[in-house]
Amino acid sequence: MRYTSELPEPNAIPAGYAALITMYDLAVPRPHKLTAIGEKHKKYETPTWKVLSPRHAPENTLKKQLIFAIKYEGIDLAIFNQLFKKTPVSDIESMIRSSLQSVYMRRIWFLYEYLQDTQLDIPDTKKGEFIPLLDDTLYYTPEGIPTPRYRVHNNLPGTKNFCPLIRRTPKLEAFIGEDLTTLLRQNIGTVHPDVLLRAAAFLLLEDSKASYAIEGEAPPHNRAERWGYIIGKAGQAPLSKDLLAQRQADVIPDTRFTQMGYRRTGGFIGTHDRDTKRPIPEHISAKVSDLDTLMNGLIETSIRLKDCAYPPVLSATAIAFGFVFIHPFEDGNGRIHRYLLHHVLAETGFTPPGIVFPVSSVILENISEYRRILEAYAKPRLPLIEWRETEKGNVEVCNETLDLYRYFDATEQAEFLYSCVMKTIHTTLPNEVAYLQKYDHMKLFITQYIDMPDRLVDLLIQFLNQNKGKLSQRARSKEFEKLTDTEVQALEYKFKEILE
């Protein structure tokens, strides 16, 4: 894979990861930004390139390019893992021994043994301060775990078998700086518990309906209510394979036509050619043989992030989007993916007890952007997956693709999810609370003005709401024929005053 054809200037020279990907022909997704050495003594950036001056140019050796990459581009686990597989062990050992106390060599040493699950013939280091593996000015990291052999703190936000990374960006820094958990608790603290309970119940049902709508389904009311009830219990039990299987059973009550549990065949999202019926994938699911490894890694990562200081919305991003990218089930992945957003936010204490963010409702309102960030993951990976069509019109993956699903950049997905959470806290929840408070005000007026049963009061408000504050002629001639013109005028006036 080469990037020379898309360099930011004609005579620029690829450096760091761009050089290593070209040099070793690595089959990896393009990093969000590559680095090149420009002709002039100036530094600048484009949307996809960082350009440094000639004085930054590294020697074109494995050691120097790796050091350059870590220093200026951070750590890309997929690139490191693929590179290690293509490099003789003796070359790695020789490179590390040559600068054993270097902070860069210690990081490379740790990554080699961690990712390759092996131990090099190098004695434990005894000198030097402990250093963080990931630069926490570039990435969001949990508290590091000391690894004395290298004198490195392992602050990866995951495990060897599942570890999405999220970069620090101005947008995420602004979201996190708002301290949304505190803001939410302050806001709901001013709301009467009865109103808050009713708002939560309504939003829960709306979220359930929206989650089905995203999948293009319109379930019966009782199914939507049941799924809403399940969402309301999210986070009460730890994530496990059994819990995920139960959630799939909740989503798919009729199992006659669906193979339940982890897939035993390939999977893809897309369409079929109208004439040849050949699959046209937009996303290809992880290989069946990799599912246990990936899902065990995802569950272990969920446990690690729950118990450490890592922003809950970022944890929810990693777990929920990682799940839907892996696509472990034959059916039900989308709704379980959105359930996991609720699960992690509740489990980490981000959402107060009894409150469920209508994440699916907000996603449905921003469905184009949601599809874009799913495509942002899938599109760069499709050319790296070799597959063949099966007799049943499915796909069978023919090459090794494990790293595509366990190591990925989840920054765009995190920004999207934070924007959804932000809208819930600032708009959706306050709007519903305000509506219910106005509704109660209108209901109080009606009961004080006219002696009417609660059932009819609610129906009257509903009719006024549906007809923009006017009571329709049909309603006046049927359910409310006993109302006088004066009473109707007073009710319509009061409705506009309170609710509009």
CA distances to 32, 99, 480 from 404, in Å: 15, 31, 63
CA atoms in the 13 A half-sphere facing the CB of 184: 21
Which pLDDT score, from 0 to 100, does residue 4 have?
61
Neighbours of 457 (CB within 10 A): 17
- Say if pTM beats, i.e. exceeds, 0.85: yes
Q: What is the pLDDT at residue 257? A: 77
CATH number attached to the domain at 170-430: 1.10.3290.10
Q: Which helix (H) or strand (E) holds 268?
A: strand 268-272
What is the rounded CA–CA span in Å between residue 453 and residue 375? 53
| Residues 189-199 pLDDT 10s | 677 777 777 77
The pLDDT assigned to 3 comes to: 63
Which residues lie across from 36 on neighbouring strands?
A: 14, 51
Average pLDDT over residues 212-225: 79
How confident is residue 499, by pLDDT bands cut at 50, 70 and 90? confident
With beta carbons less than 8 A apart as the criterion, state whether 308 and 143 touch.
Answer: yes
Question: Using an 8 Å Cβ cutoff, are 228 and 205 in contact?
Answer: yes
Query: What confidence category does residue 425 fall into, taking pLDDT thresholds of 50, 70 and 90?
Result: confident
Q: Output the DSSP codes for 234-262.
A: TTSS---HHHHHHHHHHH-S--TTS--SB
pLDDT, residue 131, reads 96
Q: What is the mean pLDDT of residues 335-361?
A: 87
- pLDDT value at residue 1: 55
Contacts of 364 (CB under 8 A, 6+ apart): 210, 213, 214
Domain chopping of the chain, boundaries = 1-75, 88-156, 170-430, 450-499
Residue 408 and residue 283 in contact, taking contact as beta carbons nearer than 8 Å: no
**pLDDT for the residue numbered 82:** 96
Distant-in-sequence, close-in-space partners of 99: CB < 8 Å, separation ≥ 6 = 63, 105
Torsion of CA 447, 451, 455, 456, to 10 degrees: -100
Q: Which of 56, 53, 79 is nearest to 66 (CA)?
A: 79
pLDDT tens by residue, 97-151: 999 889 999 999 999 999 999 999 999 998 889 999 999 999 999 999 999 999 9
Looking at this protein, which amino acid is placed at residue 92? I
Q: What is the pLDDT of residues 144-189, one digit of tens each?
A: 999 999 999 999 999 999 999 999 999 999 999 888 878 777 777 6
pLDDT, position 2: 63
pLDDT of 356 above 90 = no
